[in-house]
């Protein structure tokens, strides 16, 4: 029974936004409903006075042309587009970016949809809850978990590992961490699979007190017997911390890193390290960079992680400077680069490129920027205005900007127009069934 104070409105979905959600307007407010199509009709309920929010129930749903492969689609918050044909998803997500590019008029624009829209993701993190529930967060409700036994966007190997993990849980009642009672130990199960190598990894994230329990030895023995991953890692972090695959770690089988291979070069990815979730599609970005990158004396790899781009493209340069905030990644990257390029000057530094002091340190690196190529692969937030100002004040031979948030790339390109022109742009989709895209843009300096 609904409270009398709830306002009831019957509304029809008018269209679909680039985030793949249907929308309609209540007065001037845009209301977005996930998994909906134009023509769907909903009863909408308005809650609250100071802080207003809405809930809805469907009264009519249009026929779906595209049948979701995942039985949990609509509950799970992982995917947002399985109710749409992939071609329509791609058109909706790319249209705002293509419209924004009209302000820059690059000499060459390339758009590349995904070759495969399922079974592509090389890492998935599943929450573990009491009752042997293994799943993903519910759409719109972080506290609730949707049980997942088979995820249509992760690799086939990962789907084969999940029932083995369930067998492990069956052997140890109450192993799962209870967030309310703060009892139990196991919080997350993470699966990582190489795409161009045969390596695989299962990561079990426990509360930090588990490492002192006798039970850990028994769980480790059973995990070795049951799980198929070449590398099995136990890691430990705070009870209150909702972070997977993070903290102190031990490998009970294999290594605490995963091997991936790109163009014949092997990468050691730490169990907690970032790597592209869809390497097969990201190869398009790499091929694009490879065909466009110019020779110069120096390479500056900003937001370098453990040196992914430096390893792939460093052979063209005499000196390589890498900068990232994560000191462990920087140390690993510098060590590996020195092995790969023993005759080059390698310098990897750990500081925050979003902080004023970080930019001061970058200035003191004494790099001749005029004879440098900069590769920048920032987080979704993009470059800061201060970093754009620095790049404008120190024009480089070529700026290659990779972005997992193309809208922010366009925002930053507006600032960079002071000293650079956008020459080329590639937009591609390593994240099918979601509204996220990847882009790379090539900038050349003006007045040179």
Catalytic residues: 404
Tokens describing residue 95: 């249209």
Sheet holding 22-26, edge to edge: 15-16, 22-26, 29-33
Q: Map residue 273 onto helix, strand or coil.
A: coil
Contact 315, 342 (CB under 8 A): no
Angle at 402 between CA 105 and CA 83, to 5 degrees: 85
**Cβ contacts of residue 343 below 8 Å, gap of 6+?**
none
Contact 151, 70 (CB under 8 A): yes
Contact 13, 22 (CB under 8 A): yes
Tokens describing residue 361: 């340190």
Phi/psi at 446 (5° precision): -80, 160
Sign of CA dihedral 433, 306, 232, 178: negative
**Among candidate residues 133, 39, 119, 130, the one with its CA nearest the CA of residue 79:** 119
433, 71, 115, 288: CA torsion to nearest 10: 40
Tokens describing residue 205: 């994230």
**Among candidate residues 67, 54, 8, 61, the one with its CA nearest the CA of residue 38:** 61
Tokens describing residue 76: 């799970």
Strands of 194-277, DSSP E: 200-207, 231-237, 248-253, 257-262, 265-270
Contact 203, 233 (CB under 8 A): yes
């Amino acid at each position: 029974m609904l409270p009398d104070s709830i306002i009831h409105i019957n509304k029809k979905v008018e269209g679909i936004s680039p985030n793949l959600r249907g929308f309609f307007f209540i007065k001037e407010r845009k209301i977005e409903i996930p998994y909906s199509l134009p023509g769907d009709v909903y009863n909408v309920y308005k809650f609250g006075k100071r802080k207003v929010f809405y809930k809805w129930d469907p009264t009519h749903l249009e026929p779906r042309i595209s049948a979701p492969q995942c039985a949990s689609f609509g509950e799970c918050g992982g995917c947002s587009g399985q109710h749409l044909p992939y071609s329509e998803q791609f058109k909706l997500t790319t249209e705002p970016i293509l419209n924004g590019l009209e302000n820059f008029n690059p000499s060459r624009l390339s758009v590349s949809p995904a070759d495969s829209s399922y079974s592509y993701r090389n890492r998935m993190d599943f929450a573990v809850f009491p009752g042997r529930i293994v799943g993903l967060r519910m759409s719109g409700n972080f506290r609730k978990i949707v049980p997942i036994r088979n995820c249509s966007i992760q690799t086939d190997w990962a789907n084969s590992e999940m029932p083995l993990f369930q067998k492990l849980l069956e052997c140890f009642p109450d192993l799962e961490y209870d967030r309310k009672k703060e009892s139990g130990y196991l919080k997350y199960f993470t699966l990582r699979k190489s795409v161009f190598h045969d390596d695989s990894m299962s990561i079990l994230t426990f509360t930090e007190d588990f490492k002192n329990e006798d039970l850990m030895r028994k769980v480790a023995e059973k995990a070795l017997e049951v799980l198929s991953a070449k590398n099995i890692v136990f890691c430990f972090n705070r009870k209150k911390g909702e972070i997977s695959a993070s903290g102190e770690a031990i490998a009970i089988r294999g290594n605490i890193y995963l091997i991936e291979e790109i163009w014949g070069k092997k990468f050691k990815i730490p169990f907690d390290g970032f790597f592209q979730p869809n390497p097969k599609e990201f190869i398009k970005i790499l091929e694009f960079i490879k065909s466009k990158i110019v020779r110069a004396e120096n390479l500056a790899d900003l937001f370098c992680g453990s040196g992914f781009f430096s390893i792939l493209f460093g052979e063209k340069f005499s000196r390589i400077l890498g900068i990232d905030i994560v000191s462990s990644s920087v140390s690993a990257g510098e060590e590996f680069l020195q092995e790969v390029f023993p005759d080059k000057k390698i310098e990897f530094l750990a500081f925050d490129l979003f902080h004023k002091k970080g930019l001061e340190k970058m200035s003191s690196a004494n790099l001749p920027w005029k004879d440098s190529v900069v590769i920048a692969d920032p987080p979704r937030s993009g470059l800061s205005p201060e970093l754009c100002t620095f790049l404008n004040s120190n024009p480089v031979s070529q700026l290659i900007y990779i972005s997992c948030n193309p809208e922010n790339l366009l925002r930053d390109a507006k600032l960079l127009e002071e000293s650079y022109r956008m020459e080329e742009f590639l937009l591609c989709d390593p994240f099918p069934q979601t509204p996220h895209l990847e882009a790379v843009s090539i900038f050349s300096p003006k007045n040179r």
